[in-house]
Amino acid sequence: MDLPASEDPDAQAPPPGLRTLLPSREFLCSRKGQLLLAESVLSFITFICYIASSAASFMMAPLIEFLLALFLFFAYSSKLNEKFKGIYWPLSDFLRCVTAAIIYFAISIAAVSKYSDGASKAAGVFGFIATIVFAVDFYFTFNDLVTFLKQGGSENATEAQKSEDEASDSDSD
């Protein structure tokens, strides 16, 4: 006899392959997760507004920032930053946020002041909002980066001091 779909235990749970693509609730509730999600959404909206406007030449920057924010969102949610130690994730994220904030600010000013259609004005407004979100993200990332460098610098100094102590010959004094 066939069981109804509501009683079948396999019908309720998504397949394990699909579950790995979804970000965890813990990451979605974190500050970094919310900032990356906001950056992705704002970049996509700005991209769509630039496509519909006469300022279509500015559409490449929001598209690239959307793809980068989306990549980092899934990289952080799937903990790729812990698996790939060769990339210095906080620094690359900081540089991405700084450049995005500067570029969004510049193209938003140009879109609002040079073009008169409504889609260009909307793209400029969403660009200014994205500038603020990216600036908040690079502020928090910078604080995390400084904290990490202070901790790493003290460990490196301690290790360097230990290696100098071991290398020195105390009998020659």
Does residue 57 sit within a domain? yes
Q: In this structure, is residue 137 part of a structural domain? A: yes
Predicted pLDDT at 62: 94
pLDDT given at position 150: 86
pLDDT profile of the chain (173 residues), mean per 10: 54 61 74 90 95 89 93 85 80 92 95 91 94 94 85 54 47 48
The confidence score (pLDDT) of residue 52 equals: 92
pLDDT of residue 161: 46
In a domain, 140, yes or no: yes
Give the domain extent around 108. 28-156
Is 125 part of any domain? yes
In a domain, 13, yes or no: no
- How far apart CA 132 and CA 143 sit, in angstroms, is 17
Give the number of domains in the chain. 1
- Residue 66 resides in a domain: yes
171 in a domain, yes or no? no
| Global confidence as pTM | 0.73
- Asked if residue 135 is part of any domain, the answer here is yes
